[in-house]
Structure 1
């Protein structure tokens, strides 16, 4: 059974509504800071898989998935006031270093586990940062390379299954990990936007969402998505970066320019961004092929479980402590968990779930999208290429 783009959007919105209802009705889900799209999306995945086992295959149209993702990152960019970017400073640099260290550890662990179990070390890279940090896109790209250059059998299916495994655990563990740290160390939400804060503008008080503000925000987002997409294609041969990274930075410039011309309604940006993120995650999760995990051999499952333990241990023992052992660092841990085992949208969904339950963390909303969307991709590509050269 095939769904059109509009039918897929309808199902995605139903999935989001069901996820919201379940999180609000089931206390443990709220306490664990589980994102609404993840709850609804995973339930949809289970239903789709059960139907597939019964001989009914559902194929969703993903035409709206990328635009939703780009609109989300554009909204993150519009909300990124340069004053908040300046706040990133040394914490952003330190967080980036920690992220890069974990990427290297993931590949070392993957290669080590592969050799220990008598597998090609390239399988270890596929079960390492290629899919854990890189996700489905990076996994598919490198799987094709390994199939042709290293003769790896079933590398594409293995990469898809590994990325799916990581995405699920990245979404499931981020919120609960942050909740554990917040309760374990009795962390308090710091004051944000109060009088006496040099970055606080008294004129930028909350305003209700209106049709006019929605039109202005949608206009800026549309311009940002188009310009960012053109830039990604134009500079691909010189400086290759994912399209969403270009959109993010174009919208940062547009948002800060717009703030000098009129009042930018941050509430509207938040609504548009959250809705876009929800649609993207819902379509992604309900399209996952859980049966691919069944095809994983026991050694690969063991390797992936080691990666999960490594990521959680590093984030808890190193990231949390190095970032200050405070509330912001706990929220950053939820984000780090998201893109260390899944993807940047998952990381942002994790920190949104935590902050909606416990309180705001502007620092996390600046650091996680920038590091997860920009620095991680460059660092991961460099580390992977270094390991490939070494193993070759």
Structure 2
């Protein structure tokens, strides 16, 4: 794999394409669930839409896709996911008490690692929907994710701005 000839614009374009395909695919999975009562994981719909898009793109050349860049994005995403999964399952789950509350908190931590407290809440909601609700993780993750991080984040950002200006 080569990093030559990859620009920031090209990277952002490819990430946007992947994100749109994932969004449409997730919606497709939800639609199939609601219409046909067919429960599919969200990624199955995304994979299905990606296959359709890829075949249409090869046939009609809608967008120029850099396969090398897609491979780099995929490998990077997989490595981030695997390191986060290992850290949460081997360290955080044990540190939180190795019980159901710990499992729900780990799902919340994975969500936070993927973006924000909103993702954490969605992850915990999925686990709770399938295996039962428990209040403790919702209290802990929202407090740490929304409240405490915001308290510490602003001084760090302001300090960094002042140091590097």
Smaller-chain TM-score range?
0.5 to 0.7
Correspondence 1:151-230 to 2 at 5 A? none
* Paired residues of 1:15 and 1:44 also in contact (CA < 8 A): no
Matched, 1:356 2:94: no
Q: Which has the higher contact order (CA 8 A, sep 6+)?
A: 1
Instruction: Name the counterpart of 2:100.
Output: 327
Matched, 1:371 2:144: yes
How far did 1:20 drift?
A: 5.2
* Paired residues of 1:19 and 1:41 also in contact (CA < 8 A): no
In the alignment, the residues of structure 2 paired with residue 40 and residue 305 of structure 1 have an alpha-carbon distance, to the nearest angstrom, of 17
Correspondence 1:294-309 to 2 at 5 A? 294-295=68-69, 298=72, 303-309=76-82
Compared with structure 1, are the counterparts of its residues 15 and 302 closer, same or farther at alpha carbon in structure 2 (3 Å cutoff)?
A: closer
Instruction: Name the counterpart of 1:49.
Output: 53
Instruction: Name the counterpart of 1:346.
Output: 119
Which is richer in helix? 2
Matched, 1:16 2:27: no
* Paired residues of 1:16 and 1:40 also in contact (CA < 8 A): no
Correspondence 1:1-392 to 2 at 5 A? 15-19=29-33, 25=38, 34=41, 38-39=42-43, 42-43=46-47, 45-46=49-50, 49-50=53-54, 51-55=56-60, 294-295=68-69, 298=72, 303-376=76-149, 382=156
In the alignment, the residues of structure 2 paired with residue 331 and residue 348 of structure 1 have an alpha-carbon distance, to the nearest angstrom, of 10
How far did 1:350 drift?
A: 1.9
* Paired residues of 1:336 and 1:347 also in contact (CA < 8 A): yes
Describe the SS at the equivalent of 2:98: coil
Compared with structure 1, are the counterparts of its residues 18 and 363 closer, same or farther at alpha carbon in structure 2 (3 Å cutoff)?
A: same
Q: Which structure 2 segments of 5+ residues have no match?
A: 1-24
How far did 1:365 drift?
A: 2.5
How far did 1:373 drift?
A: 4.0
Describe the SS at the equivalent of 1:295: helix
TM-score, length-normalised on structure 2? 0.55
* Paired residues of 1:15 and 1:40 also in contact (CA < 8 A): yes
Report the RMSD for the aligned CA atoms in angstroms: 4.2
Q: Which structure 1 segments of 5+ residues have no match?
A: 1-10, 58-290
In the alignment, the residues of structure 2 paired with residue 39 and residue 293 of structure 1 have an alpha-carbon distance, to the nearest angstrom, of 20
How far did 1:324 drift?
A: 1.6
